[in-house]
Structure formats: C-alpha cells, structure tokens
Amino acid sequence: MAARLSVLLLRLGLAVTGPALTAAAKMKVVEEPNAFGLNNPFLPQTNRLQPKRDPSPLTGPAHLFRLSGKCFSLVESTYKYEFCPFHNVTQHEQTFRWNAYSGVLGIWHEWEITNNTFTGMWMRDGDSCRDRSRQSKVELTCGKNNRLAQVSEPSTCVYALTFETPLVCHPHSLLVYPTLPEALQWRWDEVEQDLADELITPQGYEKLLREVFEDAGYLKAPRESEPTQQEGATRGLGVETLENCNKVRSELSEEIKRLTNLLSLHGIPHERPTAETSHAEHLGQQSPTEMTAEQLQGDPGLRGNIL
Ligand SMILES: *[C@@H]1O[C@H](CO)[C@@H](O)[C@H](O)[C@H]1NC(C)=O
Ligand SMILES: *[C@@H]1O[C@H](CO)[C@@H](O)[C@H](O)[C@H]1NC(C)=O
C-alpha cells in the first residue's frame, strides 16, 4: 500500500522526501532493472523517458547550432538536470531507491525575444504536471566554458535554467536582425518606418514584428503551444473588439445627434451625411442648452470631421 502511494506520488511528479534521499546528493544515475517501471522496466531510467513530440527545427543564431546534439548537466541536491540545446531538458533523481524519478522538463520549442535580442530558449511540452505540461526557460549568458550553471523552479513545474557559454559573449552575438533572411529584414525596416511615420501604434508595431519573428520560425504562433487556452483568449478578444467597436459607434451617433440638434438650434445650415443620421435626428429629443456655437467650432477633433 505504501509502495503504491509512492508510485502515485511519483506519477504526479511530487518529490518524495525521506531519510534515504538526504545522503544521495552527488551519486550517479542508477540504471538497474525496475519492476515497477511505467514503460519497459528493463531499460535504464533515462531511456524510458517518453518525449511528447519532436523538438522544433534549429533556428536562431547559426553559431549556436554547434551546441545541438550535446548535453550539459548539473547536479543539484538530489537531482541531476540535463540540458540538451535545441533538444530537451530532463531531470533524474539521484538515488539508489527502486523508484527513482526521471522526467522530461521540456522539449525545444521557441526562442524568447526581448528588445530584439534572443534572450532564452523555451523548452515546453514536458511531462504532465497536474493539468499542464512542465516547461523550462533556458537563459543564455556569457561564460568561459559551456556549462549548465543554475536550475530553479520559480513557479510550479516551470523551471528556469542558466546556461553559460562563450558563444554569447560578443555584444552582437544574440541580435535578431542580422540572423533574418533579407526579405524579412525588409519587412522589419518597413515596420520601423511605419512606426516612425505614426501609421501604426506601438501595439501594432509589436504585433507586426512578432509576425516577422514567427515567419522566421523563431517564435511559434500561440495557437500551437497552448491550444485551448489561446483559442479562448482569442475569442474573448474578438468579442471585446466588436463590443468596443459598437460602443464607439453608438457614442459617435449620439454625438452626431447632439451636434446636429445644436446646429439646428442655432439656425446653422448643415449637410446630413447619412440616412442614419437623419433618422437619428428625428429620434433625438434632447435640446442642449449649455453648449454654444463657439465651443462647437473650436473642436478640431473627430466630431468636426464627421459633420
Ligand atoms: C534529449 O536530447 C538528447 C540529445 O539530443 C537525446 O539524445 C535524448 O534522447 C533526448 N531525450 C528525450 C527524452 O527526448
Ligand atoms: C534595448 O537594446 C538597445 C540596443 O541594443 C539598448 O540600447 C537598450 O538599452 C535596450 N533596452 C532595454 C530595455 O533593455
């Protein structure tokens, strides 16, 4: 019964602590037959890990591709963590116990881009963790040797790794722009120009730039990573936008109604731009008293354009 409970806890990814673990910090992975294994019990622990999917293709700064196929490990307390760039992050419990835990903490998915610089590698779709998958963000920092320097778990089943490498020490080594094909650089140039000319908003700029990064394969479309969550979010946004649009539209027709009444009140001739406005005029029973014609003429904004 106790053994069954342990298996259950381990399947849930919960660490089982006990006196047996405390002394086991720097031991090698034990590869012995295991009668309670989840898949093939006669394979060593590491080989029984079942990745949920294949890693994404190699993308980003080409000088980092030489790290592909290599793995770097770090032993921290009772776990050995292994980072295989452009492939995966795994965790292996260091213990002689029969039910040592090993798991996939993420599979190479996409880059993290901040301020137009590659700042980290997202490894997602690791082993299940309640209703989610484990995921890891690997930050790349300059160091003398290739070395997995740090592992932490800032939130449940989200791991933060720091990988040191001399390959990112040059100040330009992680810039996004130089890695793009020419056609995408042109698109980026246009987006910059449009922002400078105020043809797009800062939000529009972020969105268009994200599309450039997605087309380059550096970022994955959100739909692919979190299908259910993202679908809901997108639908929510759509409704919100339509609502906003209707709200603005009804505010504007109220305003037109009000101003039209005001013009009539002061005997100023005006055109009726649409049938709807004239319809609205018939409906409008408000008679504004406090506004004056001067205030109306002084308004240079949207209202002026509409009338
Ligand atoms: C992790 O990546 C390494 C290196 O590419 C590979 O040998 C290993 O099979 C991968 N492990 C899993 C669980 O995918
Ligand atoms: C963004 O990058 C530019 C150029 O590399 C740098 O001057 C600027 O300080 C950075 N901004 C932030 C918020 O990191």
Q: What is the whole-number distance in angstroms between the Cα of residue 161 and the centre of ligand 1?
A: 17
Looking at ligand 1, which residue's alpha carbon is closest to its atom 5?
69
Asked if residue 161 lies in contact with residue 139, where contact means CB atoms within 8 angstroms, the answer is: yes
pTM for the structure as a whole: 0.62
Asked if residue 163 lies in contact with residue 148, where contact means CB atoms within 8 angstroms, the answer is: yes
Looking at ligand 1, which residue's alpha carbon is closest to its atom 9?
47
- Please write the tens of the pLDDT for every residue from 229-280: 443 343 333 334 566 667 777 778 877 787 778 778 878 777 755 544 444 4
Asked if residue 64 lies in contact with residue 120, where contact means CB atoms within 8 angstroms, the answer is: no
What DSSP string runs through 60-129?
S-GGGGGGTT--EEEEETTEEEEEETTTEEEEEE--SSTT--EEEEEEEEEEEEETTEEEEEEEE--SEE
pLDDT band (50, 70, 90) for residue 48? low
Query: Which atom of ligand 1 lies closest to the CA of 104?
Result: 13
Per-residue pLDDT, 233: 40
Token digits of residue 127: 């082993």
Q: Which ligand has its closest atom nearest to the C-alpha of 86?
A: 1
Distance (Å, whole) CA 245 – CA 242? 5
Q: Which ligand has its closest atom nearest to the C-alpha of 113?
A: 2
Q: Which domains does the chain have, with CATH numbers?
A: 47-171 (2.70.130.10), 180-221 (no CATH)
User: Mean pLDDT, to the nearest integer, of 21-30?
Assistant: 40
Q: Which ligand has its closest atom nearest to the C-alpha of 105?
A: 1
Q: What is the whole-number distance in angstroms between the Cα of residue 159 and the centre of ligand 2?
A: 26
Which residues, other chains included, contact 302 with Cβ-Cβ below 8 Å and sequence gap of 6+?
Answer: 252
Q: What is the whole-number distance in angstroms between the Cα of residue 87 and the centre of ligand 1?
A: 6
Distance (Å, whole) CA 122 – CA 70? 17
